Amino acid sequence: MKKTRNTRQRGVILDILQETREHPTAEKIYQDARRVIPNISLGTVYRNLNFLQDQGLVREIRPCDGGSTRFDGVLDSHAHFHCTRCGALLDISLPQGFEQLQLNKMDGISMISSIDLHIIGECSNCSEEGSGSTH
């Protein structure tokens, strides 16, 4: 297999993802990265995100309610909560009993590599504000 190089761009992108729990989009990562490497290009960001995903260092989350792909650099197992009002995408702990679910041998499944749990609803912030605000 071919050798990979440690470029500044790649390092910065990975750092950004590992230091936030905001699940940024590629565009947001691009903007953050430009504060460090002003002439980094969006194409490079995408190429590295794909690369890091292939390496298993990062994973992508596709918001259930449309919008662009977001990325997650925190690999502890956790679920995601999507707020339909403000669009927030939050890490949440796996519900009690989740690990014990009978997951194997279901239907036509022969091997499970990962399980994604997405909870869609309203976050406390939005609910506290009554029915008006959109963020």
Name the residues that contact DNA, by CB under 7 A.
2-10, 25-27, 37, 39-44, 46-51, 66-69
d(CA 41, CA 13): 12
The correct pick among 11, 19, 21, 64 for binding a second copy (CB under 8 A) is 64
54: part of which helix (H) or strand (E)? helix 42-54
The correct pick among 11, 21, 77, 120 for binding a second copy (CB under 8 A) is 120
Binding mask 84-113 for a second copy (x = CB under 8 A): x-----x-xx-xxxx-xxxx--xxxxxxxx
Residues 61, 64, 67, 70, Cα dihedral to 10°:
-10
Query: Beta strand 79-83 with 70-72: parallel, antiparallel or unpaired?
Result: unpaired
Q: Which residues bind a second copy (CB under 8 A)?
A: 60, 62-64, 66, 69, 81, 84, 90, 92-93, 95-98, 100-103, 106-128
